[in-house]
Amino acid sequence: MGPDSCKPSLEEPLSQSIDKTAVGWYVMKVLWRQEVKTQQRFAEFGLESYVPMRQILCEDARHRKQRVMVPAINGLVFVFSSIKKLEEVKEFVRINYGQTVYFYTNHVGGRNVITSIPEKQMADFRSACDIAGDEVRFFLPEELELSRGTRVRIHGGPFEGREGVLLKVKGKRSKSLVVSIEGFISAVVADISPDFIEKLS
């Protein structure tokens, strides 16, 4: 996966006619290298959050190579909460830690709308990545042409019940199961036996 950065915008979402008390998965933007620290601060408020991680090889000050875990996509933290609660947490973090956290927004109909992630999509992505373990490979949206793949559901094996896209990925001999958080990140998690695959329309 190439260099990936997501610089927080200074743009805050305009008012939108949604229920701010409704709980769901939202995407928060933070400065580079503040992902894990922000996740810890969310945990202090009892909020569940998720940062996709990948393993890289680097050298320490003594030129010894070691494997370390780093965020797979810079500047983003996925958090399960309500907009109302997140607004309170954002303000607390700003006042007490001097850190600014932003809602990730999309420009829709002339205004900035807070982006939410469907719960099933998040659950499928997280569980598939957990099952794949160190074998998972992450890609940004522009790095994979998912439209060329086939939408499938898996029946049997460790990925039972998971949905994703069956796609030929560079470096893989056969087609692989790709699960995605749409618009943010995709994960190549496994080569799947044809016997387990159900094509979806």
Residue 134's pLDDT is 84
pLDDT tens figures, 100-155: 999 999 888 788 889 999 999 999 999 999 999 888 999 999 999 998 899 999 99
Q: What is the DSSP string of the chain?
A: ------PPPSPPPPP-SS-TT-EEEEEEE--TT-HHHHHHHHHHTT-EEE--EEEEEEE-TT--EEEEEEESSTTEEEEEEEHHHHHHHHHHHHHHH----EE-EEEETTEEEE-EE-HHHHHHHHHHHHHHGGG-EEE-GGG--GGGSEEEEE-SSTTTT-EEEEE--TT-SS-EEEEEETTTEEEEEEE--GGGEEE--
Domain ranges for the chain, please list them.
23-116, 119-199
pLDDT tens figures, 35-55: 999 999 999 999 999 999 988
Query: Rounded to an integer, what distance in angstroms lies between the CA atom of residue 167 and that of residue 176?
Result: 5
pLDDT tens figures, 82-93: 999 999 999 999
Total-model pTM: 0.83
Residue 194's pLDDT is 86
Report strand pairing: 137-139 vs 185-191. Answer: antiparallel
Q: What is the mean pLDDT of the chain?
A: 88
Residue 3's pLDDT is 41
Q: In the predicted model, what is the mean pLDDT of residues 182-192?
A: 92
